[in-house]
Structures are given as C-alpha cells and as structure tokens.
Structure 1
Amino acid sequence: MAKLSVNINKIATLRNSRGGNNPDVLQAALACERFGAQGITVHPRPDERHIRYQDVFDLRTNIRTELNIEGNCREEKFVRLVLDTQPAQVTLVPDNPGQITSNHGWDTITHKSYLQDMCALFKGAGIRVSIFVDPDPVMVEAASQTGTDRVELYTEAYAKGYADNREAAITPYRTAAAVARQLGIGLNAGHDLDLHNLHYFVQEIPDLLEVSIGHALISDALYLGLEETVGRYLAAASGV
C-alpha cells in the first residue's frame, strides 16, 4: 500500500483569499491525520500565496505523521526553512519564479553536481530526500547518482492520458519504476492523481511508497466531505 500524504496548499489558498485564519490550515491537517492520512505535504513558495512559512513551523510542532516539504531548493529561504523545521522528507522541485504549479521534473544530468550538494546538505541534517523527476529512465538513473533516497515521478502526463488509453499512459511510469527498483532508490509519485486514476496507477507500480495529492482531494472534499474523501483516497492508494 502506498502511503497517502495530503497536500494542504489549497486549504491555505482559501484562507489567504479572505485573510484571517478560516479555514485553519493546522486544524485541516490534523483532521486529515485523524481520518487516516499517513502524511501531510506543503509546498511553500517565496510569495507565500498559499502556505506561509509560519504554517510549516506550526505543522511540524503539532502533526504526528510525516511532514513532507516540497519546493525549490535554489531559494535560500526555502533551504533554511527545511533545515530549521527538520521534516521527515524534503522533495526538491525545480519551480521557476512565479510558476503557478509544478510542471516539470529536474534535468538530473545537467544539475547532477548541484543536486549532489543539496542531497548531502539535507541528508546530513537527517532529512530524507526525494527528487521530482519526469518518468524518464535516464533521469531516474542520473538521480540515483546524486545520493537521493527517493524520486517522485511527475504524474501529470499519466493523468492526462489516462482516459484515452491508460495502458499507454502508464507505460513510461512502469519503465521508470523498474529502473528505480534496480538502482535501489525509493519511489514516490504526485501531480493530478485523483479518484479516477489513482487505483490503477498504484496497482501498476507495486513498489510505490507514497503519493502526494492535494488539488483533486481538496476539490472532492467540497462534495464528499473531508473524512469521506480521505477514506476514498486511502482505499484507492491501497491498490486492492
């Protein structure tokens, strides 16, 4: 069973749209845990347009499951935040300034030396490292040479192709997962996974350790309620 880490960025976006503290990001995270989520993911950005840096400190102090902090390690403030809060995992994502959402993985060949330095920094602080990559076996292989513990497969292409031809959509991910398995690095996945496509993905990638899901899960919760929604995603992530 892949662990479910709930990305709560969208809760923070809703809060920030009106100011104040409604909805309460911390209470939402604690509710997700109470309903069975095995982790909480946040992706702070420099403009704090959703998750604020203080949110990360509050979450780290109060949640009992794993905290996964995603973000651009080129930002000095992000690096300091991760080192100061000591999450269970940091996921390195090559965001560009002002980017609405993540839309590509690392070129782990071009940036291998840099990623080696960042992996050494975070792992030296006792933090598990995952590198966000496209489902390209070459990129997975180069990632394995950085010292990372895991890679997170960027799943937008799978999600977009699922309805038309799920077999074709999953094929690059099977190949990338096989390379990761052979090289002995762990496998996470995330981006646009939802209740329609998650179960099949988990079934076809049996070594998957964790899925990080935010936008679709929070959107579904508007109709189903948060407890019911987390339960359905947990069932889908079980692959049964």
Structure 2
Amino acid sequence: MSGPSLSVAVIAKNEAHRIERCLRSVAFSDEIVLVDSGSGDGTPEIARRLGARVIDTPDWPGFGPQKNRALDACRGDWVLSIDADEAVDERLRDAILAVVRAQPKAGDPLGYWLRRASFFCGKRIRHGDWRNDKVLRLFRREHARFTDDLVHERVDCPPPHDVLPGLLLHDSVDSVEDMREKTVRYARLGAAKLRAKGRGGGVADAALHAGWTFVRGYLLRGGFLDGRAGFTIARLNALGSWLKYRLVREERA
C-alpha cells in the first residue's frame, strides 16, 4: 500500500450471526484482518467472502494477546480495532476517512476515541454502567499496542488523542441468556486476572463488590431510567462481580 491507509482489525469466534453487519460497516477500509479462534459456525467463510484476510489460530491466549495478533498482521498506517458485535455508523465512517486521508502534520493526534452506543436485546441503553462511553480504537499502527490482559484489555497509545464524531454501534447481547453466559465467562477471566495480581477474593469481597456494582449502575448512574433492561443489566453486572471474587479463591483451591 502507498500513502495513508487504513486497516481494520477484528477478532472473532462463532460470530456468524453478526459478523457480516460488522464487516460491511467497515468496507471503506483498505484491508480487513480477522483473527479467528476456532469458529465452528462458518464465521471465517463469511469473512473471506466479504474480502477479509482471515488468520486461524488454534489457541486462545486472552483478549489482549489475540488483538495484538490481529494488530501485528495489519499493514495500514492507521488501524481501526472493532469487535464482531460492533458496527460503524455513517457519520463515524466519514470522520475516520477524513483522518486517514489528511496530510499528516506535527502534533496531530496519534489516536482517536470513538463514542459508543450500546444496545441490550435491541434496546439502546442510555444510562447505568452501559451508558454511552468512549473507547480508543483508531490509532497510528506504529505507536500502539494492546495490553496483555486476558479481559478488559486497552490500547496503549501515547498522546495526543482526540474524539471523533459519530457512533460505534455496540449490539452487546442478543438475549438475557446470552448476557448470562458472557457474565460467567468474563467472571472466570476476571478471577484469573485477580489471582495473577495476588488478590484474595472470598465471600466478603464478593458481597461488597457485587453490592457496590448494583448500586453504582442502577441508582448512582441512573440505570433505573432504562426500565426493565436497566434492572437486568445492573443485576447481571452485580452477579459478574460476585462470581469474579468468589472464583478467585475457589479456583485457586
């Protein structure tokens, strides 16, 4: 590739039900790299059909290391990291293209924050712990790496940063059962992260963190304003905190 260019980096496993929406929303990029970790539902085939370069990996090292694998395979000057359950809206697309096509100048941002709108079973969530947040997802490739965290990884990219207009649309869960499964899976990963830091966990810790998680999301951050969905999110987030701190000790034993 010559001149400014954009790579899109995606990791996936069994995302056939939504990967097409994700990849079509970033079809404006110069290349799409998808790292797949053993999908059995046709995700790699769909991605290849849509023009993505698919890399198959037999293992699962955690979210941070897997995203770094995708990043290492990218060739563009800029990288947009997007999850399989996300899509770029038109305003954000135009803003990204403006950044990529601009002539670089000294002092320009090395990374950009994207505003994200999350949805629960099709309903947009405007309050609580899922209220609109910002994620650093567009960055100069040579200046950024993901942290090696198993879960809740982040991008390490030096400033300056800026915020782009438009939205990253996040269809986080399709059903309550889907969220419950994710809650348990993320709790196990979070427990492993706590054990690696030498954190003790236990019933008291679990109860304290679960209670605070519910109060923060449902009351202090106004989750109740999202109705039944807000209550469900706060309840399952609290369950995730409870499980994470309980599993620290139980799985160590």
- Per the TM superposition, whether the score is higher than 0.5 is no
Relative to the length of structure 2, the TM-score reads 0.28
Higher strand share: 2
Larger Cα-atom Rg? 2
